[in-house]
A and B are shown apart, each in its own frame.
Chain A
Amino acid sequence: MRDEIIHDHNHDGIDRRGFLKCMAWAGTGVLFTVYGGVLKSYGLDKVVSGQVTPAKGELSFVQISDSHIGFSKEANKDVVGTLQTAIDRINALPTPPAFLLHTGDLSHLSKAAEFDTLDQVLKGCKAQDVHYVPGEHDVLNDNGKQYLNRYGKQTRGDGWYSFDYNGVHFMGLVNVLNLKAGGLGFLGNDQLEWIEDDVKGLGGDTPIVVFAHIPLWTVYPDWGWGTDDSAQALSYLKRFGSVTVLNGHIHQTMQKVEGNITFHTAMSTAFPQPAPGTAPSPGPMKVPAEKLRGVLGITDVNYIQGKSSLAIIDSPLAS
C-alpha cells in the first residue's frame, strides 16, 4: 500500500483523509539522511530488509522515542524486548547512523532502575552517541532532577541544548515541565529566549533540526497533543530554508508541512496510541501481539529548499 499526500499550504489544520493515512501503529525507529539540506526519512524495517535503499547523504541519524521502560501492562508486557528489537534493527543498517536521538519517555515512572535498564539496552547499540530530551514520564515527582543528572549534564535550564553536526544545527527542547492547568506542552520564557539567541549567528541556509517530546504543532488539543508556546519558538526559525521538527509522545507517525517547516512524529518502541479522537482517551492501544512488532510505517519526506510545496509519501505496512 502506498499513498501520496500532497500537502496544501493554503489551508490550516489536518486533512482528515491524509491524516489517517499518515498513521502507523507501532515501530522501531526512523532513519534520517540529510543531503544538501534535504532531509529524508525512512522506516527502519524497510531499510534493514533491503526494500528501501537510503540515499547516501552527508549525514544519517536515527530517531527512537517513547521506550517507556517500566511499562508492563497488556498493550506490551515486554517493552525491553521491543526496544532491543529497535536497537537490533539500527545495528543492522548498512550504513551506521552517526548518532541516535531519543525524543523522550525513556522511562515509564522516572524510576532509577528503569533508566538503568534503558542505558543497558542502549549500550548494545553500535551508535554510541545518543542525544536525549525528556518526556513527561521522565520528570515525575522531582521536576526532572534525576533526568538532568543522568542525561542533561551539558545542557541549560531544564535540559535544552544545541549542537552542530556536518553543517546541520540540532536543537533539543524541553516542553514537559511546568505545565499549566488546562494547557498543553510548555517551553517557557527562559527557553524561548535561549532559542532566539541560539540561532542568531546562523545563516539562513543552515538546515535546522528541532527535537522535543510533545509535538510542537497542535495535533489534538483535546488530548493535550500540542505545545502552548511553540508558535513563538518557531517564529525564530522562519528565516531558515530548512527546518525539521521531530517529536514523539503520540506513539504514531504523523506529518505536517507548514511553510519552511516539516513536522514529524515518531512511533514508540513500547506501545501504540490511538489516532486522535478514535478512542475515549489516548491511553495505550491494545493490538494483537504479532501486529505490535510487525506493523511498521515508512515515511519518505522529499524536502527541497525553495519549493513552496512538497510531496510526502507514507506507506503504512499491511499486516
Chain B
Amino acid sequence: MAAALVWVVATLVFALLHLLPGDPVLVILGAEGGAQAPSPAQVAAVRHALGLDQALSTQYARWITRLARLDLGVSLDDATPVTRDILERLPTSLELICAAVAMALLGGIVLGVTAARFHGSWTDAALSGLLAGGLSFPVFVVGTLMLLVFGVLLRWFPVGAYVAFTEDPLGYLRQLTLPAVTLAFNLLGVVGRIARGSILEVLHQDYVRTARSKGLGEARVLSRHVLRTALIPIVTVVGVQFGILIGGTVLVEYIFNWPGISTLLFTAIQRRDYPMVQGIVLVTSALFILINLLVDLSYAVLDPRVRYEGRP
C-alpha cells in the first residue's frame, strides 16, 4: 500500500516537473546573467552528459528503477547525491518546525484554556482577539517585522546567520528564536482557538459535572478531565499542520535564511534540478503520510474510548 502510494507520488512529481517549461542545461550554463550565451555545441554536450537528451520514458524508467533501490539519484547541478543533501537539510527544517510547534502548542493551550476558563469575560475577548490576530497575520509580515524590530533596531538576534547547535549552542538558540516564533505565531492562533472551542464543549459534558460534584478542585478538573479530551482535536490539527509545515516553511526559511529543506527545494525548482526536486517532494510526502499515521495512533493514547483492535 505504502509502496504504491510512493510510486503514484513519484510518477506525478516526475510528470509535473517535466511538463514545467525551463531547461536545466541553460541554467547550468549560466543563464543567470551572462553577457555571452552558450553555444549549441555546449548545450548539446552538457545535455548529453546529464542524460537529458534521452527519451522521457527512458528517463522515467531510470528514475523509477533507481527509486526501487532507494536511490534518489544525483543533483544535475553538481552531481552530489540527492539523499545526502536531503539528510543534511531536513533535520534543520525539523528543528525549526519542532520548536515552532512546541511554542504554539504550549502557548496556544495556555491561552485557549485561560480564555475558556473565563468564558464571556474581557479576558476571553482579549485573548480571542490575539489568537485571531495570530491566525490572520501573513507569515511574511510577521517575519519581516520580527527581523526589523529584534534584528535591526534592537539587535537582540543575529540576522540569518545560521550556526549548528553542536558548534555554538547559544548562538544556535539565538538564531532559532525569530524564525521559530514567526512560524509559531500562525499555529498559535489555530491551536488557541481550537483549544478554547473544544474545552468549552467539554466543560459542558456530564462527566465534567460529575467530576466537579465529586468535589475535585477546578484545576484538577481542567487538567485531568477536560484538557485530556479536549486535546484530541488539537493533536489532529497539529499533526496536519506539522505535515504541511514540512516543505511549507518556504517563506520563513527564505526570510530568515534558514538552511532547511524548503530553501533547498526553492533553489532546486529555480534551477530545474529535476532529481533534487523529485527527491525532496518524495521524502516530504512520505513524512506527511507517516505523521498522519502517528496522529491516528495517538488518539488511542489520549482517549480511552478509541482503541484499535489487534489483528489475530
Asked if A and B bind, the verdict is no
Binding site for A on B (CB under 8 A): none
Interface residue ranges, A against B (CB under 8 Å): none
